[in-house]
Amino acid sequence: MTEPDSPGFAISPGVLSPAEVDLLCGHLLGARRTRAGARNLLVIPAVAAVARDSRLRAMASGALGAPAFPFKATLFDKSLRTNWLVAWHQDTVLPIKARREVAGWGPWSLKAGVLYAKAPAEALSRVVALRLHLDDSSLANGPLRVLPGTHGLGVLPPVRIQELSSTVRAVECLVARGGIIMMWPLLVHASSRASGSTPRRVLHVEYATSADLGNALELDVAEQGDEADER
């Protein structure tokens, strides 16, 4: 579960070897892409194998306090050719198996055949993401920027997020190829446009300890579709 007094993220260098990253990148070449990358990649056996690797699962399980499993994997592929800027925000939606009208959940949306709902803070505190870097991240290729400690403030309105971006000192998360950033969904984060020639490819894998979200709601772990959000 989320620890409010923690910074909300942790960087682990050198989790995967260069050879392991090369092999994974080769398997990603055939994934259908949008401008930002590719969604729902656990259907690719090599991606599923990495997401379920004992090293990654140990990190997620340690953060969540119980054995964790991956339920979603997305590739973000930023370069001068596929470039974007992301404003300060929190990750607040989860893929849901079936829609049920439950207080605190919604609005609902459908993306590439997958049903999503904006989730309450309690549900989001039971999810953690591991961002596996397939390239070195640097100040020149639009790295992840975070506002430490903001994951403990709950789901925030846009005006409050904007206020925090002016009062909390941001941290640039620079990670070498093969390293991982672990982060909580409600950690306020952003990224700038890339300005250099080196790409920034990140495999973003989300973990939970149970598909049961309470109130007869369940995580959708089937992963259908291929459209990527921009992060």
pLDDT (0 to 100) of residue 226:
39
Q: Looking at the domain 9-90+126-206, which fold is it?
A: Jelly Rolls (2.60.120)
Q: What is the pLDDT of residues 10-57, one digit of tens each?
A: 999 999 999 999 999 999 886 665 655 688 899 999 999 999 999 999
Mean pLDDT of the chain: 89
pLDDT (0 to 100) of residue 40:
84
pLDDT (0 to 100) of residue 220:
92
pLDDT (0 to 100) of residue 229:
44
Confidence band (pLDDT; 50, 70, 90) for 180?
very high
pLDDT of 95 > 90? The answer is: yes
pLDDT of 208 > 80? The answer is: yes
In the chain, the percentage of residues whose pLDDT exceeds 90 is 71
pLDDT of 231 > 60? The answer is: no
Pair 16, 203: CB distance under 8 Å: no
Pick 209 or 32 by higher pLDDT: 209
Sheet strands side by side (includes 180-183): 9-12, 180-183, 127-133, 200-208, 69-78, 37-38
Give the mean model confidence (pLDDT) for residues 127-141: 92
Q: What is the pLDDT of residues 139-159, one digit of tens each?
A: 887 789 999 999 999 999 999
Could you give the 3-state DSSP secondary structure of residue 218?
A: strand
Using CA atoms, how far apart are residues 105 and 201, in angstroms rounded to an integer? Answer: 31
Pair 21, 13: CB distance under 8 Å: no
Longest dimension (CA), the chain: 48
pLDDT of 118 > 80? The answer is: yes
Domain regions of the chain by residue span: 9-90+126-206
Give the mean model confidence (pLDDT) for residues 155-164: 97
Confidence band (pLDDT; 50, 70, 90) for 228?
very low
Pick 66 or 138 by higher pLDDT: 66
Q: Which two tokens stand for residue 95?
A: 């893929």
